[in-house]
Structure 1
C-alpha cells in the first residue's frame, strides 16, 4: 500500500481556474489553440474530445516552479543530463491527445533529443512529466499520460505528491522515483515548506543535502 504524508496546510488552496469544453474534435481544438496564440498565460489540455483551459493562480505557480527547481538541483548534483520541455504542447493528433504539462523532461533519453527539436511522431515521450492539479480537473491525467507512454508521472495537489511509474502495462503508484531513487516524499514536502519562508535558503539546504547523498563514501 502506498502511503502519503501531506505537506501541512490549514486549508486546501485554490490553485487554478478552469474552463472545460466537451465534444470537440481535433479541428475545433486546433482552431481554439491558434486563436488564443502563443503569448498566453493559460495552458490547454486536449484529451479525446475534452478541452480544458487552465489559468494558474499563485499556489499553482509556486508549486510548479519550486518542483522544477527541486528537479534541477537533483539533476545537477547527481551529474545527470537534462532537456527541459517545460509546458511544451505534446501534440499527438494520431492519439487525439495534446497536453501542456506543467513540467516535462528528458533525462534518461536526453541523448536521443539533445541539440534539436523533439518530434513526438518519432522520438520517445518525455521521461518525466509533472502536473500540478490543486483544483478538480475533468481530464483523466493518468489515462492521458499512459496513452503517450510517459514512463514516470508526478502529480501534486497542493498537499500530496503522488509518483506513478509505468509497470506491467499500466501506471502503478509507488513510493520513490525511478529517476531519483534516494529521494523520499518528505524531501519534497520539507523543501516546499521551507521555500514558503525563504526560497534561497531552501535551495541551499537541499543542494547541500543532495551533495552529501551522492558523494563517494
Structure 2
C-alpha cells in the first residue's frame, strides 16, 4: 500500500486553524502519491474536504453556518435551473485533479451545464481528456479560498462563485487564464450576485419549505417573465 511520503529535502508539517466556524488543518511536504493515499484513506467521503496544491494538503470541516449557506445556494441553483428549463448535471463534491497541474480539489458544489453530455454516466472523470465542470461554487465562512481558487484555475474551470456571509462574487476565467470578477454570470445570466445572495441569506423562516415555496413562486412570477423579456 502506498504511504504518505515526503519529497526529498522537505519536512511534513501541519497547521491548524482554530476558530469558531470552519476548521482547517494543513499538511505540507506531501507528494502526489501521498495525496492519493489520503483520498483513499478517507472514511467519510464528504468530510473533511481535501484540497491539494503544490505539495500542501488542506482538510476543511464545515461549520453549521457554512452548511446552511451551502444548502441554500444548492437549493437556489437547482430551483432556478429547473424552473428555467436549463439542463444541468450536479456532481456535488466530486474530486477533480490533475497530477501535471499539481492540484486537486473536492468542490463545495460543481455543475456541468453545456458540457454535461461529455461526462454523464462516467464512473470516473479524467481531466486530461474530459472537460472540467462549467461551474464551481465555494462557501467561505472562516477559511480562505485562495488555494481552492488556484486549483480551479489550473484545472481551467470557467466560472466559480464564492459566497460569504456578506456577499456573493462571480469569477470568470479570462483570456489570460486568470479569474476576474464580473457583474454577470456566464452560467446563469440575468440574475445579479446581490439578488442571489439576498435569497440565500433571507431570514424570517422557521421552515425551509416555506422559503423554497417563496423562491419557486418568485422564479415563476418574476424571474421567468423577466428573462423572456430580455431574450425577445
State the TM-score, normalized to the length of structure 1: 0.86
Structure 1: gaps spanning 5 or more residues: 1-12
More deviation in 147-156 or 162-171?
162-171
1:97 equivalent among 83, 103, 114? 103
1:54 aligns with 2:60: yes
> For residue 216 of structure 2, what is the aligned residue in structure 1?
207
Q: Which of 39, 42, 45 is the aligned partner of 1:36?
A: 42
CA contact (8 A) 1:132 1:155 kept: yes
The change in CA–CA distance for 1:201 and 1:174 in structure 2 (over 3 A counts) is same
- Note the C-alpha offset of 1:101: 1.0
Residue 209 of structure 1 deviates from its aligned partner by 1.8
What is the alpha-carbon distance in structure 2 between the residues aligned to residue 133 and residue 101 of structure 1? 12
Does the C-alpha gap of structure 1 residues 160 and 199 become closer, same or farther in structure 2, counting only changes over 3 Å?
same
Structure index of larger Rg: 2
Distance 1:181 1:126 in 2: 17
> Of 24, 28, 47, which residue of structure 2 is paired with 1:22?
28
The structure showing larger relative contact order (alpha-carbon pairs under 8 Å, at least 6 residues apart) is 1
C-alpha distance in structure 1 between counterparts of 2:219 and 2:145, whole Å: 37
The answer to whether the 8 Å contact 2:28/2:57 transfers is yes
Find the counterpart in structure 2 of residue 4 from structure 1: none
Aligned counterpart, 2:175: 168
The equivalent of 1:189 in structure 2 is: 197
1:105-152 Cα distance to aligned partner (Å, 9 max, x none): 001211222233333221100000011121133742332211100010
Q: Does 1:125 align with 2:132?
A: yes
Aligned positions, number: 205
1:143 aligns with 2:167: no
Moved more, 62-71 or 107-116: 107-116
Instruction: Report the more deviating stretch, 96-105 or 112-121.
Output: 112-121
> Can you give the 5+ residue segments of structure 2 that lack an aligned partner in the other structure?
1-18
Q: Is 1:111 aligned to 2:120, yes or no? A: no
Secondary structure of the residue aligned to 1:67 is helix
TM-score normalised to structure 2 length: 0.81
Instruction: Give 3-state SS (helix, strand or coil) of 2:201's partner.
Output: helix
- Structure 1 residues 133-142 or 177-186, which shifts more? 133-142
Q: How much is the aligned-residue C-alpha RMSD, in angstroms? A: 2.0
Q: Point out 4+ residue stretches in structure 1 off by more than 3 angstroms.
A: 37-40
Deviation larger for 136-145 or 85-94: 136-145
